[in-house]
């Protein structure tokens, strides 16, 4: 299965600033997904990123707040812009590695605290 | 109503017990069902994947899907302290890349 490296693992940021989270995969994948996991909550899909096209955002998430880049088939970034304490959460990237195993692989997550 | 409902627990059982974790769902189009295990400060790790109805066994873990009742289960036999984690169910339908997750059940196995 694919191995995902996600950076940073954690950060503490001032409100009003932005943080860019990086996700590197050890194999080429068509689709990459960005999730948010708020404390004690389940995973909520933010957007789906395909290489060479604009990311598709889920209801409640907008590009101005969460711009995504997908420059190639192994890398993506998610930026959390103009942060407020409500953005404190764990952010996870995920890929569909394909093949018979199905199921999606997740990175270890970025634990973000906004103060 | 959420598409996927999962009791968040917490659930605490003694070592060696059989653990039953469950999810219900409302979307009859769901055909792919997964269980993920998430340790503290880690990303979710795929445990079991099942297509449509039926049972699947992998070591101490058994996944069951009852599509007629829109109900899925994960059983853990001979539970170990290392099984202490949050367990999330997830599912999607044919042609749908988006996974829908349950809230997750926090499980503690006491030595």
Q: What is the pLDDT of residues B34-79, one digit of tens each?
A: 999 999 888 999 999 888 888 999 999 999 999 999 999 999 999 9
Task: Give the pLDDT of residue B51.
Answer: 86
Tens of pLDDT, residue by residue over A5-44, are 999 999 999 999 999 999 999 999 888 999 999 887 889 9
Nearest to B46 among A33, A40, A103 (CB): A103
Spell out which residues of chain B touch residue A102, defining contact as CB-CB under 8 Å. 32, 34, 49, 51
Q: Check whether B98 has a pLDDT greater than 90.
A: no
pLDDT > 70? residue A101: no
B29 C-beta neighbours (distance < 10 Å), count = 11
Interface contact B99-A48, CB threshold 8 A: no
For the residues B2-10, what does the mean pLDDT come to? 89
- Min CA distance, A28 vs chain B (Å)? 17
How far apart (Å, rounded) are the C-alpha atoms in residues A88 and B38? 19
Q: pLDDT confidence of A52, banded at 50, 70, 90?
A: confident
Higher pLDDT, B92 or A16: A16
pLDDT at residue number A53: 82
What is the per-residue pLDDT across B79-91, written as a single tens digit (0 to 9) for each? 999 999 999 999 9
Tell if the CB–CB gap between A43 and B98 is shorter than 8 Å. no
Rounded CA-CA distance A107/A30 in Å is: 16
pLDDT at residue number A34: 97
Choose among A42, A101, A109: nearest Cβ to B101: A42
Residue B103: list chain A partners with CB under 8 A.
41-42
Token representation of residue A107 = 């990175």
- Whether residues B32 and A102 touch (CB distance < 8 A) is answered with yes
Distance between B108 CA and the closest CA of chain A, angstroms: 15
- The predicted pLDDT at position A50 comes to 86
pLDDT at B25 over 70: yes
pLDDT of res. A104: 86
Strand partners, B105: B87
- Counted residue by residue, chain B has a size of 111
Task: Collect all residues with Cβ–Cβ distance below 8 Å to B68 and sequence separation of at least 6.
Answer: B53
Q: How far is CA A22 from CA A107, A111, B46, in A?
A: 10, 13, 22
Largest CA distance in chain B: 43
Q: Using an 8 Å Cβ cutoff, are A85 and A14 in contact?
A: no
Burial class (CB in 10 A: 0-12, 13-18, 19+), B65: buried
pLDDT tens per residue across span A80-97: 999 999 999 999 999 987
């Amino acid at each position: 299965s694919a191995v995902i490296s996600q950076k940073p693992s954690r950060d503490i940021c001032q409100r009003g600033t932005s943080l860019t989270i990086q996700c590197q995969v050890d194999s080429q994948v068509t689709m990459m997904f960005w999730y948010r996991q708020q404390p004690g909550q389940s995973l909520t899909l933010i957007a789906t990123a395909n290489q060479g096209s604009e990311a598709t955002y889920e209801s409640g998430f907008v590009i101005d707040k969460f711009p995504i880049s997908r420059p190639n088939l192994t890398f993506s970034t998610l930026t959390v812009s103009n942060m407020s304490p409500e953005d404190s959460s764990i952010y996870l990237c995920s890929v569909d590695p394909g093949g018979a195993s199905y199921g999606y692989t997740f990175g270890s997550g970025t634990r973000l605290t906004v103060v | 109503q959420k598409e996927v409902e999962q009791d968040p627990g917490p659930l605490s059982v003694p070592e060696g017990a059989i653990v039953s974790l469950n999810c219900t769902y409302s979307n009859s189009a769901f055909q792919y069902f997964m269980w993920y295990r998430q340790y503290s400060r880690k990303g979710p790790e795929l445990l079991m994947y099942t297509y449509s109805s039926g049972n699947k066994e992998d070591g101490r873990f058994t996944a069951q899907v009852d599509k007629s009742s829109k109900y899925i289960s994960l059983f853990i036999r001979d539970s170990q302290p290392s099984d202490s984690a949050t367990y999330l169910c997830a599912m999607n339908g044919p042609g749908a890349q988006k996974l829908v997750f349950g809230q997750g059940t926090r499980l503690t196995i006491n030595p």
